[in-house]
Amino acid sequence: MRDTGDCRYSILILCLLGTACRPAVADEGSDAISSTAELLPLSWEELTELDVSGLARRQQSVKDSPAAAFVITGEDIRRSGANSLPDVLRMVPGMNVAKINASNWAVSARGFNDLYANKLQVMIDGRSVYDPLISGVYWGQQNPALQDIERIEVLRGPSGTLWGANAVNGTVNIVTRSARDTQGGLLYGGGGTEERGFGGVRYGGQLTDGVHWRGTLNAVNRDASARLNGAGDTADYMNAQNANFRLDGQTGERDQWMLEANVARYRLQGDYIGVTSVDPPTWRSDDFGRDGVTGSLQGDWRHRAESGHDWRLNMAFTQTEWTLAMNRMSRSQYVLDWQDSLPSDGAHHWLWGLNYQMINDRFDNTLTLSFLPGEFTQHNVGLFLQDQIDLGEDVKLTLANRVEHFTYTGWETEPNARLIWTPDRRHSLWAAISRAVVLPNRAQHSIRLYKTIPGTDRFFEAIANPHMLTENLMAYELGWRWQATDTFDIDTALFYNIYDRMQGTRFTGQVFNDPIPGTLEATVGNERQVKSYGLEVSANYRVNHDWRLQASYSANQFDIEYDRSQSWLRDPLTEQHFNPSHQLSLRSLFNLTSEIELDAWARYVDRLYVDQREIPDYITLDLRLGWHPHRNLEFSVSGQNLLDAYHPEFSDILYIQSVSQLQRGYFAQVSWRF
Amino acid sequence: MPKYPGGFNRSVVGALARWRVGWISLLAVAAISWVAASDSVPSNQEYQLKTAYLFHFAELAEWPESAPVNICLLGDSPLRDYLPVLEGWQIDNRVVHVSLGDNIDNCRILFLSDLHVLSKAVSEYARIRHVLLVSDVEDFARRGGMVQFTLRDNKLKLVVNLPAVRDAGLKLSSKLLRMAEIVQ
């Protein structure tokens, strides 16, 4: 009965990473937080989140993992006043989050941010939600009820050994609450100026002894964002509905399982690309929004064998159907993941696993956007092996490798070595060297995009490159965690990354007269080398039980090599220009009384240069006032982006014609448990 | 038909090299061997957590009149080893004192190790003197206790007997009640 289905991913992450899977050493003094005195400065909310058994304690686990890890708790989400997943991720040091319009975000870690950011693995309960078409996430399609989220675990830096290709700059694992933890009812709703209306209902019950269920229905409706000149809006309204059903079961002492079904419907509007006719060439900037449905079914089974083996089977099936004005897609994805953690053999802790993924998609092609071949199936297979070795009382080494075969690129290997040294209970130092790969995606492999060159009236045809190779990363990381006092801790990470064979889109010099005379050919290839380095710091200060401060800062620099004699479709200095050099986030969580909460969140983001346009640096402030008149009732009012009427955060005029600006917004919310 | 430019051709040599790197690193993982001893004792912080909870109760409960925060323990519980840590800490600018003896005069929070310690006399004393009665034995709240610790899903939860709390002239904050199961 130790942990529920959704605890296991944190255990898995940390097992894979190293030390945390090892039981904490029984010696009280060596465990930074287990001694009673160190629990006392925690707030009531933090305390009630802690697990009794040290094995699954994420606070300790994060502190012990030899990687740049950050955990957003359900309480952090509730008090952030944020209403969408990307907005919540803004509190993580090293994460880049920029809202492009009401339904599109650019989200990445350690730079490389873009609408099509392709170096982040994102999972909900272990099911990957990144889209294999672009190797990124369409965040507008992901609108789970935030109340169902128990925590979000974010690993910056490569974890390809754990999660395969594309877990290059980071991994985000969204863990939803188990059915057992969400018994009874919850009704919530609210609305305001930008978050026009949102709400949901959840109910959970017990099926039989040890088997619990819960179902959630929720909906969101967002207002359009402002035009660049502030006059009028860009008509990028969105609405989405979600239905989620989950079963959690415990069969005997040794078996645990979880079944989850999810259906999401989304309607994202806005001024997207579209060429309606070639004769005469007609360009129309109109609502070419996306209308789609995604359904998924997933199962997870964990068994502890008497022999000491701990194995886990995870299966997921996802079906996605969406329609754009100029394109339609239907896709099925199957994922099978198996792993076996061996009983400890002295100083060695072995873990190995197998995974298989099948992706089958079909496109109805049009002139503006097509994929050739229109139907395609990929099969990707991987094998990984890890040994975590105790080199001494306070030094642990983790060696691991994953070998994977991809339909597009053949065999790849993603090894890593991690070392953690915990000289005393206040300090831990870690270092890691890893290799990770980014797979060429379906779009790079088979796209034909036909449209005007931004800023001109000439047309180009972007043509895919079936010979695209993986982008390869060699990453060097250093980290230091310091529990300075019982109430103050600081976590620092440094990285130096070398990315080889980075994608670039250049004009080939070919000119076609079909379908429109003078159309230039552009193609994607492994054209550039990028080096990046940076620093991430997060600090926590518990002033007292009623007041907690959290700060994070990150700095990021790029060094890019490319052929200057070529003519490029997009900025060859994308990374350098698209990513802020400095970011700062400051949060204050303050209990005015035990019934009234006042929360503030300020952020600074350095300027960007996107689509030949400067996006100025900005400072924002969000405020939230929450009131609990009764133990089952909560009212809150939130204000977002309070410091200006509107500001832009990003742009992608290749796909989204109008540059949008984020507006100041207010909303009120009520939630009732029954 | 798509017009494919030259692109990159992967050579056989390159493919072999990638294979080799993969297997060499797999072998390297397999080959490294070290000997060190380590015991596998899962750490359990049940009583540390209970102690911290008791500390917070001093803040989350409201007494009719202000008085020093005295936390007492009656009976034999493992908590005896942890509770003294609270001595001298401050909460709401009030100093916490811990008493482990049989003298339960002036207690604000009284932890009972067992159901049989919850005698009529203790209940009556708690009601008149505004003492918050806490325990971790099963059925404590149902049998007239006030706040009971229980374990669920590896987390510490509370069962609260609200009428008993009210009878003692105490008020628990909604923050505490939010995570508690209420028995009437």
Structural contact between residues A229 and A274, judged by C-beta atoms closer than 8 angstroms: no
Dihedral, CA of residue A183, residue A84, residue A497 and residue A654, to nearest 10: 140
pLDDT (0 to 100) of residue A92: 96
- Lowest mean pLDDT, pick from A10-14, A193-197, B96-100, B139-143: A10-14
Asked if A23 and A51 touch (Cβ cutoff 8 Å), the reply is no
CB A640 within 8 A of CB A665: yes
A632 touches chain B (CB under 8 A): yes
Residue A7's pLDDT band (cuts 50, 70, 90)? very low
Check CB contact under 8 Å for B43 and A54: yes
Is the CB of residue A554 less than 8 Å from the CB of residue A532? no
Query: Would you state the pLDDT for residue A28?
Result: 38
A429 touching chain B per CB within 8 A: no
pLDDT reported for residue A37: 82
Model pLDDT, residue B9: 40
Q: Which residues make Cβ contacts (< 8 Å) with residue A252, sequence separation at least 6?
A: none
State percent of chain B over pLDDT 90.
41
* A101–chain B nearest CA distance, Å: 33
Residues B43-86: tens digit of each pLDDT: 578 899 999 999 999 989 999 988 889 999 998 888 998 999 89
Give yes or no for residue A113 having a pLDDT over 80: yes
User: Given an 8 Å threshold on Cβ–Cβ distance, is A180 in contact with B153?
Assistant: yes
**Angle, CA of B28, B32 and B36, to the nearest 5°:** 155
Comparing A143 with A126, which gets the higher pLDDT? A143
pLDDT exceeds cutoff 60 at A132: yes
Report whether pLDDT(A528) > 80: yes
Question: CB B38 to CB A24 under 8 A?
Answer: no
- Token pair 């003197």: residue: B129
pLDDT of residue A49: 82
Q: Which residue has the higher pLDDT, A40 or A238?
A: A238
Give the Cβ contact number of residue A241 at 10 Å. Answer: 17
The answer to whether residue A469 neighbours chain B at the CB level (below 8 Å) is yes
Q: Does A643 touch chain B (CB under 8 A)?
A: no
Average pLDDT over every residue of A314-324: 94
Instruction: For residues A183-202, give the mean pLDDT.
Output: 96
**Is the per-residue pLDDT at A115 higher than 70?**
yes
Residue A427, classified by CB atoms within 10 Å of its CB into exposed (0-12), middle (13-18) or buried (19+), is: middle
Mean pLDDT throughout A191-207?
Answer: 96
Q: Does the structure show a pLDDT above 90 at A160?
A: no
Residues of chain A positioned with their CB less than 8 A from the CB of B30: 385, 387
What does B42-91 look like in DSSP terms, one character per residue? Answer: --B-HHHHHHHHHHHHHHHEE-SS---EEEEEES--GGGGTGGGGTT-EE
Peptide bond into A515 cis (omega under 30): yes
Residues of B in contact with A4 (CB under 8 A): 153
User: What Cα–Cα distance (Å) separates residue B89 from each residue in A243, A381, A484, B17?
Assistant: 48, 57, 19, 63
CB-nearest partner of B41 from A23, A347, A413: A23
pTM: 0.86
Compute φ and ψ for A161, nearest 5 degrees: -60, -35
What is the rounded distance in angstroms from the CA atom of residue A116 to the CA atom of residue A447? 14
pLDDT digits (tens, 9 = 90+) for A541-577: 989 888 999 999 999 999 999 999 999 988 899 999 9
**Contact indicator for B71, B81 with CB cutoff of 8 Å:** no
User: Mutating which of B86, B162, B174 best tests the A interface, going by the most A Cβ atoms within 10 A?
Assistant: B174
Residue for token pair 């109760």:
B57
| CB of A369 less than 8 A from some CB of B | no
- B49 with A39: Cβ contact below 8 A: yes
Tens digits of residue pLDDT in A275-301: 666 665 566 666 778 899 999 999 999
Provide the pLDDT for residue A13.
43
Quote the pLDDT of residue B37. Answer: 28
Residue from the list B41, B42, B48 with its beta carbon closest to the beta carbon of A35? B48
Label the pairing between strands A271-272 and A286-287.
antiparallel
Q: What is the pLDDT of residue A308?
A: 87
Q: What is the ipTM of this complex?
A: 0.79
Chain A residues touching residue B174 (CB < 8 angstroms)? 594-595, 628-631
Query: What is the percent of chain A where pLDDT is above 70?
Result: 91
Q: What is the pLDDT of residue A48?
A: 87
At A280 the pLDDT is 59
Select from A122, A86, A123, A79 the least CA-distant residue to A107: A86
Tens digits of residue pLDDT in A341-363: 999 888 999 999 999 999 999 99
The answer to whether A11 and A21 are in contact (CB under 8 A) is yes
Residues of B in contact with A372 (CB under 8 A): 2
As a whole number, the mean pLDDT across chain B is 79
